Amino acid sequence: MRAVVTVVGKDRPGIIAKVSTLLFENNMNILDISQTIMSEDIFSMIMLVDMKSSVVADVSEKLAALASEIGMSIHLQNEELFNSMHRI
């Protein structure tokens, strides 16, 4: 299954490293990544990931814990659900 991970918050060192490490530790592969720093040091990143055998609920809980730890907003959505929600 493929999924979309979004990360938003105040920029600081190590965001990409912490998120990508968590994904790696949960057998997830980053297929595509886009990140930018907007004005006022706002960091945003969107990743398309292959979840392989990972369980969405387990990874979502771990991402929520990481988000709390680093003061960011991190969300994981099934790619099909993400695409359906963002159709015009």
In this structure, whether the domain defined by 2-85 belongs to CATH 3.30.70.260 is answered with yes
pLDDT tens for the 88 residues of the chain, in order: 899 999 999 999 999 999 999 999 999 999 999 999 998 899 999 999 998 777 777 899 999 999 999 999 999 987 666 656 666 5
Q: Note the pTM of the prediction, 2 decimals.
A: 0.86
Where are the extended beta strands (E) located within the chain? 2-10, 29-38, 42-50, 72-78
3 contacts 76 by C-beta, under 8 angstroms? yes
- Radius of gyration (C-alpha) of the chain in whole angstroms: 13
**How far is 35 from 47, CA to CA, in rounded Å?**
8
